[in-house]
Structure 1
Amino acid sequence: MTTRIQKVLLTGRTHTTGSRREGAHGGDERVDIQLSSPGNAGSEITLSAVLMHPTAEQLFAGAWSACYTGALGLVAKAKKVVLPPDLAVDIEVDLGMTGDAFFIQARFDVRMPGIAAEIAEAIAHEAHGVCPYSKAVHGNIDVAMNVTTS
């Protein structure tokens, strides 16, 4: 059961591109991570520009977006859809309160330029069923998704 946040205290933002080489970038540039794929020899994760004290919400958003973009690729491949090179996922994770209790919530903005809207929507939503981060929070936090194809 999810609870809606009444007051947002802070937001962690990330922008992840379809190219895992470009990586995940925090909205305030505290985190710049070059991503790797599990099981690929020599594809280590590089923390190229980590300033002091990125927020937990920003780190969670970055890890979630990296995992989710991988899930998008798996779902698209199964559907025989080639994802665009300018695919991008922006995730915002809010820390907030309702009454005296703390909660998190998330917003996804998935951009798949050139993909038919109904196909992009299907891939984006199905990827949540594949992504371990999405599965971990399913039913526990409020997650909103916006998918655009232009």
Structure 2
Amino acid sequence: MSNALFTAHATAKGGRNGHVKSDDGLIDLNLSMPTENPNEEGSNPEQLFAATYAACYDGALNLVASNKKKDIESTTTADVSFLKDPEDNGFKIGVTLNVNMSGVSQEEAEKLAENAHQVCPYSKATRGNIEVTLNAKAV
């Protein structure tokens, strides 16, 4: 991997019912599978992915808007679903990005959302691998 601007490090132990910790200690979480342990406190990979995808996408959206001289305020909520995969009888994830923007029309919001989806590193990483639905809304 040439030209890396930085590299993040996190270690998981025990899988979905274990623990995850970043090298700097900022992330230090117990993990729990909600379908198996609904009352147990802990995060899960889908929740962590939702947080990181939402942050990355919202950053890409604001960059795209700025490059197009659009002054927006935005929030992005990522809904990450853990799904049965009928193809291999295993599991997969799907994502819905709910994007709210002020400062633009509905048509502009939809165009900015799609443009951000083309440049967001997480969108690039998942393209063709998981279903991602964009719901853009001008507010």
The TM-score with structure 2 as length reference comes to 0.67
Match of 1:52 among 25, 30, 33: 30
* SS of equivalent to 2:91: strand
Per the alignment, residue 90 of structure 1 pairs with 77
Give the structure with higher Rg (CA). 2
Aligned-pair CA distance for 1:51: 5.9
SS at match of 2:129: coil
* CA offsets 1:17-45 (integer angstroms, 9 cap, x no match): xxxxxxxxxxxxxxxxxxxxxxxxxxxxx
Aligned length: 103
CA-based RMSD of the aligned residues comes to: 2.1
Structure 2: which amino acid aligns with 1:92? D
1:75 has 2:53 as partner: no
Q: Which has the higher contact order (CA 8 A, sep 6+)?
A: 1
Matches within 5 A, 1:1-150: 52-53=30-31, 54-84=43-73, 87-99=74-86, 100-150=89-139
Q: Secondary structure at the match of 2:116?
A: helix
Q: Which amino acid is the alignment partner of residue 93 of structure 1?
A: V
Show structure 1 runs of 5+ residues with no match. 1-45
Where in structure 2 are there 5+ consecutive unaligned residues? 1-25, 32-42
Calculate the TM-score normalised by the size of structure 1.
Answer: 0.63
* 2:34 aligned partner: none
Q: Is the 8 A contact 2:76 2:98 kept in 1?
A: yes
Q: Which amino acid is the alignment partner of residue 135 of structure 1?
A: K
Residues 72-95 of structure 1, C-alpha deviations (whole Å, 9 max, x = no match) = 1110011000112xx211111111
% identical equivalent positions: 41
Higher helix share: 2
Which runs of 4 or more aligned residues in structure 1 lie more than 6 Å from their structure 2 counterparts after TM superposition? none
Name the CA distance, whole Å, in 2 between partners of 1:108 and 1:73.
15
SS of alignment partner, residue 70 of structure 1? helix
